[in-house]
Amino acid sequence: MDGQTKFTYNAKIDAGRKPSGPVCLRQTAGRRQRNQGVQMAQTVTLIPGEGIGPEVAHAARRIIDASGAQIRWEEVSARAEMERRGQGYLAAEAITSVERNGYALKGPMATPIAEGPPSINVGLRKALDLYANLRPVKNLPGVKSRFEGVDLVIVRENTEDLYSGIEHEVVPGVVESLKIITEKASTRIARFAFEYARKTARKRVAAVHKANIMKQSDGLFLGCTRAVAREFGEIEYREVIVDNACMQLVLNPGQFDVLVMPNLYGDVVSDLCAGLVGGLGLVPSGNIGDKAALFEAVHGTAPDIAGKGIANPTALALSGVMMLRQMGETAAAARVQAAVEAVYREGRWVTRDLGGKATTAEFTEAVIGAMK
């Protein structure tokens, strides 16, 4: 990654949207090399992850390689060796690899419930200051779902809120968990959401909050978002309390365009929105910072189906599409997107989560075959 050039979000990342202003704000390494007449591979960090992670990562890698994208993969583990002996948790090698390369594709990492070390997924985002979690939710043609025409984007703050993981036992039987909301992070995520809306010609931004109860913390988030909203007069701004937002989303998702929210609401609302378009096997995401971007599926490690060869790799493959767009590999991105859509339209090689019988390998072959 070029230390001189600020890593900036590429609006073309959101499939199928026509940006209204200048789009690619950062000259990627690959683009610089092509400008000089040489097409050289860009190195991308691949973190296979755990549970179904290695299965879907292997599939996504094969699909991306078949797209003609010039990528050299640097495979690393995000879990430090020490943790297996009960100490430490986040591999320094993973952080330095993503910092060096600027781009990463990652499978999910397991997080023990109610015990053990902090989440590696969250740790990576924080360590790399990947402050914006971008989750486009859109119907895939041919996938039956509760709603048609869903096309919204969740912008989730990625570095603070209850995910700060600051908890302690005040006295036996009483535990305190700190929700950290700062002016800096709230303003930064609000600005990201509005700039994203402007660049992708989206018309509306909704801030999701619970400031009627958490008057100070969510109140600060709202205050910062309102201040940023005033700078973007052409974009319609509204505020929705999180519980009402959930109901409105399942009643009429078409009323939403870009939704910006603190970390925890973003996590919950993302899974809800995945359900609107067919489930967790389909929804991609990008964690974007000023120096690097890490792309991963919204789903977790799915231990119930791990190792069975039946996981749906679509979410990670489409996260790869977001990554390719960000890297300036727009033709390869379009090829993968079109192939995935063709496979779903045909409906023959659909995995079990969507009612089909195909294995991960069969689906992957079908997508690769659709690119030929």
Give dist(CA 92, CA 104) in Å, integer: 15
Q: Give min distance, CB of 345 to ligand ATP, in A.
A: 19
Alpha helices in 36-173 (DSSP H): 53-66, 92-101, 120-127
> x/- string (CB under 6 A) for ligand ATP, residues 331-350?
--------------------
Residue in the structure block whose two tokens are 């400008």: 35
Minimum CB distance to ligand ATP smaller for 115 or for 176: 115
For position 319 contacting ligand ATP by CB under 6 A, the verdict is no
Residues 166, 183 contacting (CB under 8 angstroms): no
- With contacts defined by CB under 6 A, name the span among 155-163, 181-189, 242-250, 298-306 that binds ligand ATP: 298-306
**Residues sharing a CB contact under 8 Å with residue 303, sequence separation 6 or more, in sequence order:** 51, 110
**Exactly one of 272, 280, 334, 342 binds ligand ATP (CB under 6 A); which one?**
280
Give dist(CA 117, CA 134) in Å, integer: 26
Q: In the complex, which residue's CB is closest to ligand ATP?
A: 300
For position 299 contacting ligand ATP by CB under 6 A, the verdict is yes
For position 283 contacting ligand ATP by CB under 6 A, the verdict is no
Residues 10, 325 contacting (CB under 8 angstroms): yes
Tell me whether residue 2 is one of the annotated catalytic residues: no
3-state secondary structure of 276: helix
Minimum CB distance to ligand ATP smaller for 68 or for 307: 307
Give dist(CA 222, CA 226) in Å, integer: 6
Q: Give min distance, CB of 200 to ligand ATP, in A.
A: 26
- With contacts defined by CB under 6 A, name the span among 63-71, 241-249, 295-303, 324-332 that binds ligand ATP: 295-303
- Given the residues 12, 138, 199, 210, select the one marked as catalytic: 210
Give dist(CA 143, CA 347) in Å, integer: 8
Q: Give min distance, CB of 267 to ligand ATP, in A.
A: 10
- Total residues at interface with ligand ATP (CB under 6 A): 17
Residues 90, 78 contacting (CB under 8 angstroms): yes
Compute the C-alpha angle 114/115/121, nearest 5°.
85
- Given the residues 144, 184, 243, 357, select the one marked as catalytic: 243
Q: Which residues are catalytic?
A: 163, 210, 243, 267
